[in-house]
Structure 1
């Protein structure tokens, strides 16, 4: 979702905040103020009436939340209300860091369990290891309780420089210990990895467009150039978007001075154009952008700028199709509303927003199911384009609006037709949890193992896929994996490598026989 944050000092009650949403945020003209004030007063009186007279005790905040959601549901699918707990997590993700102990964890059999401490993070420096169970944070018991995730985070987070005493059970050594961890700023990377795939082919994976994305991208771009990169692959698969301006900054490094990157138009018809500057450090090398059906918003801005300027080649499958720009308003209780304020257009003038019917957000969100049914995830000819929405790139190539970015080079889904749900399972937490449990049976088997020795060991493990199939069955998912054995084994091996070694080794395995990269290598 493409957002641009604004911060307004709203020192009113939740009821008045609702009035602001209806009246102030939608910015009705002056001549309608009295009418809209009447509507606000009606809502305030109704909530007061319920508070004072309703037969049972009622939480008026929940009524306000329902009202806000009802209003936004009648706008577009991307104008949304964000509750306080979700907004805190979202802000941290988009900011790119938080203050905490620095561990990836999940609840395993009612206990907070460390999947992997973050590299060079506070927990790793203090000696926390993968597989450790966190029993207490200071005197707060964390096991044997059904604590919600946000409560767990609060126990582990705190002020920078503050200390928390963790009571740990280490299964591999069968002992309990106390470890003092000094909280510090922990980065949340938006660039997963940058590496050379061969002597001239560089690769950068961007998982979202957050505050730190451009800095991370630029660092990777510089490093790859120094290693001899002449061709760059930017992987935007599964990237749901983020800040428009960060996608623009990335595009600016690739496009020539005064190339149009994107323009936006609001309901008043005001157009704002954004052009590339002279600062780009990779304006002449070859560029490929990888997209799929979950590449959205800011990802599509970057892909559209590259495609319409004939700067590079778009590889993959049709992107999500989100051409709306949101602004955010924060409330005193920590909640927020994202409101669509304009539409964005690629340099050729096309809107890639897919169709939607107001009030039918659920249908819009599940549009990918029609892609399965139509067969477009396997055949480019099945992609429906509107002839009335033809546009031309800088060199005169035909591109289409009205429903995402259609790739220049189509690459079908890797899983067999009819088994599309497997593609989402392989990118879900199920793979991570399964591998954790396999490692947790006897971590000493992998103690001190080199990456090459690991590759040799995992290559001869013929039972790993059948074990995963049984694990899925125990989780309530009856899925046969025999038609996709090699693909499943690749994802399982990559996750093994991630938990044992790190992100670079994960991607080294995952990208080795990647279908989209193979299309480039040909």
Structure 2
């Protein structure tokens, strides 16, 4: 067995979570700092930051004691979610939160020193131009892309550019053993935040959201409408692993579920000013059943929606205790192309609870608390969740909810409650299995090229030989884990990742939903006709 099992899972979880929280800060305000500060010298950067902290930061801070430290050290003295964004990362962060970027639109990886297209992005120019999965891009605008050991970010820099500019590509297509020439006009490429939308059963819809970007509400609304037209009157909203994003987007999505006048949340800033957000009449799913899936990596805007639904007795929260981020950031320019996301207020759920975890002992301890959830058994047993009895709140129908660190679900589903243990599942999601599937598909693409996604789901089954090959591959790569007990789960995951690389994330999630313990828990609630106020008894 793999001897590092005790700490491998929390290490992977914490690393991915920290990265996600960094990208997915709760932004709700426009940067008005340019009206107050107009100089751009390096000397003024620190003064500008200190002024922001002096006048805008949610707590009183002795700024004199931190003037002489670096920007990052200053922010570390505040809270874990006030962060510095170097100018080299500004564009990437902005693209991620905008919901699109200008480029050619491919998902790719470097393989044996060649740029291989995993798949062209739907809605992007490469798909329109005829690029196919498995193509090798040899040359782009006279830049040779193979044999140079280029990093992924260097490839992106070559392929991205101004809108409506052309990229002349030389492409080798192995399945046809020929080289072709294509001209691709750069355009906006969608970065979808709604991963999946489908009907699990005739009346049960499913939507998975990976972040709250500018485009998320429009994507969500279109998905919700499609499900309603398809007959859905119950919705599973999957916010697992969602680190958050724009506060206003979360409010708009919550509004779809809540009646006119219901409180969604309120914020309180340094001066004590309170700003309340209420639902309006525009919600289209106000009278239907809602089930929210969360886990330990659901944070920020994800928790706003879960809290609004739970506190208004509007639906059922299923899963594990969420991350616990109740702070709101504003992005402010530092004048040299870099920026700071500074905490300017706290938010509270409709019952008045703050779900922000304590950060009194510093950022390192704050994120180490995430490790402790795995070590203390909380992720495997609801009885191990520690609550603060002094932070008890009641919903309008009398359900007990707690403040002080995340949203505790109404129905607990432990980590590793499927046959495949949770830490093995995490290793699969880390990219190890994805690379195996990529290599397998690169040699067997002709078996799948003529299949539609529906035909793939109905006719493709992963056999024992493929599982044997994967286990051998894992052993050869030094992954010393006994995978044999998980053969059936491996078949499901291999098929799902194969579908992702052939089609899209939506098909992958449809396949994985067939053996998802949280979805199974929801289906049980629906079958038993259990209402939100009754979940404590089941």
TM-score calculated relative to the size of structure 1: 0.89
> What residue is the counterpart of 1:60 in the other structure?
none
> What residue is the counterpart of 2:388 in the other structure?
386
**Alignment size in residue pairs:** 494
Structure 1's 240 and 38: CA in aligned 2 closer, same or farther, altered over 3 A?
closer
Contact 1:232 1:287 in 2 (8 A): yes
> What residue is the counterpart of 1:22 in the other structure?
50
1:471-510 residue pairs with structure 2 within 5 A?
Answer: 471-510=473-512
Which secondary structure does the structure 2 equivalent of 1:388 belong to? coil
Structure 1's 355 and 468: CA in aligned 2 closer, same or farther, altered over 3 A?
farther
Q: Which residue, 170, 173, 176 being the options, matches 1:173?
A: 176
> What residue is the counterpart of 2:115 in the other structure?
112
Which secondary structure does the structure 1 equivalent of 2:297 belong to? coil
* Aligned equivalents of 1:332, 1:193: Cα separation in 2: 39
Mapped pair 1:286 → 2:310:
no
Mapped pair 1:188 → 2:191:
yes
> What residue is the counterpart of 1:89 in the other structure?
92
Contact 1:77 1:364 in 2 (8 A): yes
The farther-off stretch of 380-389 and 142-151 is 142-151
Q: Which residue, 362, 365, 377 being the options, matches 1:363?
A: 365
Which secondary structure does the structure 1 equivalent of 2:40 belong to? coil
> What residue is the counterpart of 2:324 in the other structure?
321
Q: Which residue, 426, 430, 433 being the options, matches 1:431?
A: 433
The farther-off stretch of 100-109 and 240-249 is 100-109
Structure 1's 493 and 418: CA in aligned 2 closer, same or farther, altered over 3 A?
closer
* Aligned equivalents of 1:2, 1:483: Cα separation in 2: 42
Contact 1:111 1:135 in 2 (8 A): yes
* Aligned equivalents of 2:146, 2:474: Cα separation in 1: 25
1:390-401 residue pairs with structure 2 within 5 A?
Answer: 390-401=392-403
Contact 1:134 1:168 in 2 (8 A): yes
Which secondary structure does the structure 2 equivalent of 1:233 belong to? strand
The farther-off stretch of 140-149 and 401-410 is 140-149
Contact 2:294 2:319 in 1 (8 A): yes
How far the C-alpha of 1:483 sits from its partner, in A, is 3.4
* Aligned equivalents of 1:392, 1:490: Cα separation in 2: 41
Gaps of at least 5 residues in structure 1 are: 44-65
* Aligned equivalents of 1:471, 1:245: Cα separation in 2: 46
Contact 1:415 1:423 in 2 (8 A): no
> What residue is the counterpart of 1:447 in the other structure?
449
> What residue is the counterpart of 2:147 in the other structure?
144
Structure 1's 199 and 454: CA in aligned 2 closer, same or farther, altered over 3 A?
closer
Contact 1:172 1:442 in 2 (8 A): no
* Aligned equivalents of 1:198, 1:416: Cα separation in 2: 21
Mapped pair 1:295 → 2:289:
no
* C-alpha RMSD of matched pairs (Å): 2.5
Which secondary structure does the structure 1 equivalent of 2:44 belong to? helix
Mapped pair 1:218 → 2:246:
no
* Aligned equivalents of 1:156, 1:4: Cα separation in 2: 32
Which secondary structure does the structure 1 equivalent of 2:241 belong to? coil
> What residue is the counterpart of 1:3 in the other structure?
27
1:1-55 deviation digits (Å, cap 9, x = unpaired): 21235334454112211221123443289xx9xx979986xx5xxxxxxxxxxxx
How far the C-alpha of 1:475 sits from its partner, in A, is 4.3
Which secondary structure does the structure 2 equivalent of 1:26 belong to? helix
* Aligned equivalents of 1:116, 1:254: Cα separation in 2: 35
1:410-425 residue pairs with structure 2 within 5 A?
Answer: 410-414=412-416, 420-425=422-427
Contact 1:392 1:398 in 2 (8 A): yes
Q: Which residue, 229, 232, 237 being the options, matches 1:234?
A: 237
How far the C-alpha of 1:479 sits from its partner, in A, is 2.4
1:37-186 residue pairs with structure 2 within 5 A?
Answer: 67-186=70-189
* Aligned equivalents of 1:404, 1:469: Cα separation in 2: 38
Q: Which has the higher contact order (CA 8 A, sep 6+)?
A: 2
How far the C-alpha of 1:403 sits from its partner, in A, is 1.2
Gaps of at least 5 residues in structure 2 are: 1-24, 525-538
TM-score calculated relative to the size of structure 2: 0.86
* Aligned equivalents of 2:432, 2:503: Cα separation in 1: 19
Mapped pair 1:259 → 2:283:
no
Contact 2:326 2:346 in 1 (8 A): yes
Which secondary structure does the structure 2 equivalent of 1:426 belong to? helix
Contact 1:416 1:484 in 2 (8 A): no
How far the C-alpha of 1:87 sits from its partner, in A, is 2.1
Which secondary structure does the structure 2 equivalent of 1:428 belong to? helix
* Aligned equivalents of 1:120, 1:260: Cα separation in 2: 37
Structure 1's 39 and 91: CA in aligned 2 closer, same or farther, altered over 3 A?
closer
* Aligned equivalents of 1:38, 1:357: Cα separation in 2: 18
* Aligned equivalents of 1:409, 1:239: Cα separation in 2: 19
Contact 2:500 2:508 in 1 (8 A): yes
How far the C-alpha of 1:151 sits from its partner, in A, is 2.5
How far the C-alpha of 1:460 sits from its partner, in A, is 4.6
> What residue is the counterpart of 2:22 in the other structure?
none
* Aligned equivalents of 2:121, 2:130: Cα separation in 1: 12
How far the C-alpha of 1:414 sits from its partner, in A, is 2.9
Mapped pair 1:513 → 2:515:
yes
* Aligned equivalents of 2:90, 2:484: Cα separation in 1: 41
